[in-house]
């Protein structure tokens, strides 16, 4: 009998279910957070990969930090009036997901404190869990983390890092306000805590004015910031980036070397070629127009079909809308016992998105990878079954 390491816990956090639902043609799945299949720039990527293989790529090992010319382009892409970044501040990763793992690996001993937004991104919890942290949940309100609650935690507990998704948060779609960005940085400085900023949805804004990233406002090297090509080009590339001060970037780069040596030379070269030859901002704008429409279809259908006892967020971008049902409802049980069978609709139930409180009355809905008519139909079916179920007196037993 093989004995796993103590840190490996039996895990059924629902991640596998998400992929199962996404692949079931009988279901309308709002569960996965996939970009739209039709919107990948296939022809451009094909040209970029061809060029990468024939002209540029030496097919040899390179450095753990990643292709310098691509790091320079990313630095330019994320630079703002507030702050200019350089290639030396950037480590290329296998998606933002690897940045989550590397940061936790660098900073956490078993039992160390990690603050997360509640609810938060399930994949981040999967990455952090391996390092056995003690989680502290900070409630999310419309303009981001409840900073009073955060301060109470920082006053009474030792925390290694604060994990936040400031733009179009997964799963709620909430965005941290500008005032709170400044206040969060002040707290990080006062209590000398690292902020892990995870920002894969940052450029997917459908309305309102873009806000500066935490990294761009950070003057004291308290922020590790993650970006990704997954949602703006393709998740299949497995390419993202991490921005940090040299004293953090050096050990993180060493950890990446031990982890996977480097990101794929072929992919790094192809994306570098793509960014030289094509206008990624125009591509993102086109995606935003399509996603904005899909979100409007979803919000309109939610307003029309959901019972009044169900609240929902109204994001300005990103991939997700979050529903809050009456507190006594367990949306996981509801999904398995009623919704999958009667509505033929799937979603992500909230319990596993709260690592401490396991609040079960939330639902994450994704709108990006479905046709507009399918979104309308799926919300209609979900709304009808929720209306029936919530009206039944016995729903509290679900
Ligand atoms: C908040 C958040 N962080 C990180 C990731 C992982 O992204 P990547 O594909 O870049 O690893 C996701 C993917 O859905 C996400 O939603």
pLDDT at position 376 is: 98
What percentage of the chain carries pLDDT values higher than 70? 96
Going from the Cα of 96 to the center of ligand 1, the distance in angstroms, rounded, reads: 6
Reply yes or no on whether the pLDDT at 223 is more than 60: yes
Q: Which residue has the tokens 């279901």?
A: 27
Residues of the chain with CATH 3.40.640.10: 56-277
Direct distance between the N- and C-terminal alpha carbons of the chain, in angstroms, rounded to an integer: 38
| Predicted local confidence at residue 57, as pLDDT | 66
Q: Is the CB of 92 under 6 A from ligand 1?
A: no
CATH 3.90.1150.10 segments of the chain: 15-40+282-392
pLDDT of residue 392: 78
Closest by alpha carbon to 115, among 143, 157, 174?
A: 157
Joined tokens for residue 47: 């040209």
The contacts of residue 296 (CB under 8 Å, 6+ apart) are none
Q: Are the C-beta atoms of residues 198 and 169 closer than 8 Å to each other?
A: no
Confidence of residue 62 (pLDDT cuts 50, 70, 90): confident
pLDDT at 81 exceeding the cut of 70: yes
CA neighbours closer than 13 Å in the CB half-sphere of residue 225: 26
The CA-based angle 42-48-51, given to 5 degrees, is 140
CA-nearest residue for atom 16, ligand 1, is 170
Main-chain phi, psi angles of 14, to 5 degrees: 95, -5
168 lines ligand 1 (CB under 6 A): no
Closest atom of ligand 1 to CA, residue 235: 9
Residue 398 pLDDT exceeds 60: no
Residue 59 to residue 49: CA distance in whole angstroms: 13
What CATH code is assigned to 15-40+282-392?
3.90.1150.10
What is the sign, positive or negative, of the torsion defined by CA atoms of 384, 32, 352, 319? negative
Residue with token string 């991490």: 242
d(CA 252, CA 275): 26
Query: Residue 113 has what pLDDT?
Result: 98
**Ligand 1 pocket check for 318: Cβ under 6 Å:** no
CA 323 to chain CA mean position, Å: 17
Candidates 102, 126, 140, 228: which one to mutate for ligand 1, based on the most atoms within 8 Å of Cβ?
228
Closest residue by Cα to atom 14, ligand 1, is 33
Q: Is 191 helix (H, G, I), strand (E, B) or coil?
A: coil
56-277: CATH number: 3.40.640.10
Q: Is a pLDDT exceeding 60 seen at residue 247?
A: yes
Per-residue confidence at 128, pLDDT binned at 50, 70, 90? very high
From the CB of 228, is ligand 1 less than 6 Å away? yes
Cβ(165) to ligand 1 under 6 A? yes
- Is the distance from the beta carbon of residue 378 to the nearest atom of ligand 1 less than 6 Å? no
Contact 235 CB / ligand 1 (< 6 Å)? yes
Q: Is the CB of 240 under 6 A from ligand 1?
A: yes
């Amino acid at each position: 009998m093989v004995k796993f390491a103590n840190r490996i816990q039996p895990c059924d956090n629902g991640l596998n279910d998400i992929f199962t639902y996404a692949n079931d043609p009988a279901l309308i799945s709002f569960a996965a957070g996939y970009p739209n299949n039709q919107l990948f720039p296939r022809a451009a990527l094909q040209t970029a990969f061809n060029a990468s293989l024939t002209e540029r790529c030496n097919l040899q090992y390179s450095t753990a930090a990643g292709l310098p010319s691509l790091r320079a382009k990313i630095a330019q892409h994320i630079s703002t009036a507030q702050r200019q970044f350089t290639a030396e501040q950037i480590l290329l990763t296998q998606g933002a997901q690897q940045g989550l793992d590397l940061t936790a690996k660098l900073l956490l001993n078993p039992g160390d404190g990690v603050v997360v937004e509640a609810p938060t991104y399930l994949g981040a919890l999967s990455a952090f869990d391996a390092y056995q942290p003690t989680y502290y949940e900070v409630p999310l309100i419309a303009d981001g983390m409840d900073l009073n609650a955060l301060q109470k935690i920082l006053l009474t507990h030792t925390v290694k890092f604060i994990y936040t998704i400031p733009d179009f948060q997964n799963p709620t779609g909430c965005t941290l306000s500008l005032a709170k960005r400044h206040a969060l940085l002040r707290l990080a400085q006062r209590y000398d805590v690292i902020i892990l900023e995870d920002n894969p949805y940052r450029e997917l804004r459908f309305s309102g004015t873009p806000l500066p990233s935490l990294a761009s406002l950070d003057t004291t090297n308290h922020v590790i910031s993650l970006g990704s090509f997954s949602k703006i080009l393709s998740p299949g590339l497995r390419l993202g980036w991490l921005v940090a001060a040299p004293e953090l970037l050096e050990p993180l780069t060493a950890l990446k070397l031990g982890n996977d040596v480097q990101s794929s030379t072929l992919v790094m070269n192809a994306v570098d070629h793509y960014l030289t030859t094509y206008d990624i901002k125009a591509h993102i704008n086109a995606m935003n127009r399509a996603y904005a429409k899909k979100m409007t279809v979803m919000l309109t259908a939610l307003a029309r079909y959901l019972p009044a006892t169900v609240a929902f967020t109204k994001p300005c971008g990103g991939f997700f809308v979050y529903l809050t049902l009456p507190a006594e409802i367990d949306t996981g049980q509801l999904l398995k016992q009623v919704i999958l069978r009667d509505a033929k609709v799937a979603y992500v139930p909230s319990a596993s998105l709260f690592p401490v409180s396991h609040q079960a009355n939330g639902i994450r809905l994704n709108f990006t990878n479905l046709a507009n008519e399918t979104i309308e139909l799926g919300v209609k079916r979900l709304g009808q079954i929720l209306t029936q179920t919530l009206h039944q007196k016995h729903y509290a037993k679900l």
